[in-house]
Amino acid sequence: MTNTEELVKQLINKHGIHRNSLLPVMQGVVKEESYLSDEAMIEIARGLDLSAADVYGTASFYSFLYTEYKGKNIIRICKTITCKMKGKHKIVEAIEDHLKIKKGETTRNGKFTIMEANCLGWCHKGPVMLVNDDVYPEVEAEKVVEILESYC
């Protein structure tokens, strides 16, 4: 049994074999493997007795459930107007400069992916950055490198 098969099996055991488990199972896979590989989606479909197309169709609806390869750490920067007004582009530039990749791309070593996100709910403390589940409000361009280093 591959690691992915094992992981899917564990998650389905934990959440139960019914449709309502689909999102928690997919979230669990993304947490461990950072994205939903074809193998994972096919395993989930098999385990929950759904079609693989249905699993893919559901996953592709949600911006946190990736169906393409992503880095181990996902960096999200809020791009909504109030964070824009507080200079989110400086943060994006600082990260792009440090990691030598552009928005939407993943570093060669697979450690980081940079993304922009819609309102993250910190408008009074913009610009805001999420790294995985950790939040960094009022983040400064000078501090960004230091923060990212802590995930290496």
Partner 1 sequence: MKSKEFKRVDLIFDCDGCQPIDVVKKALKMSRDQVIKSVIDSGLRGRGGAGFPTGVKWKFAKEEESDVKYVICNADEGEPGTFKDREILDIVPNKVLSGMAICAYAIGSKEGIIYLRGEYNFLLKPLNQTIDIFNNSLSKIGLDFAIKIISGSGAYICGEETALFESMEGKRGEPRNKPPYPTKAGYNGKPTVINNVETLVYTSMIINIGTKEFVKLGTSDSRGSKVFSVSGDTPKAGIHELELGLNVADFVAEFGDGDTKAVQVGGASGFCVPRKHFKETIIGFEGIPTGGSMMVFNSTRSMYNVLNDYLEFFEEESCGQCTPCRVGTQQLMKGINAVKTGEKSSDYLDQLLRLTETMKIASKCGLGQSVANSFSSIVTNFREEMIY
Contact set with partner 1 (CB under 8 A): 18-24, 26-27, 57-58, 61-65, 80-82, 84-85, 117-126, 130, 133-135
Closest distance of CB 59 from partner 1, Å: 9
With respect to partner 1, which residue has the nearer C-beta, 84 or 108?
Answer: 84
Q: How far is the CB of 9 from partner 1 (least distance, A)?
A: 18
Q: How many degrees, rounded to 5, is the angle at CA 68 between CA 29 and CA 43?
A: 45
* Cα(143)–Cα(74) distance, integer angstroms: 17
Nearer to partner 1 among residue 112 and residue 122 (C-beta): 122
Please state, in angstroms and as integers, the Cα–Cα distance from residue 116 to each residue in 5, 75, 85, 149, following that order: 31, 8, 15, 20
Tell the smallest beta-carbon distance from residue 21 to partner 1 (Å): 6
| Residues 78, 127 contacting (CB under 8 angstroms) | yes
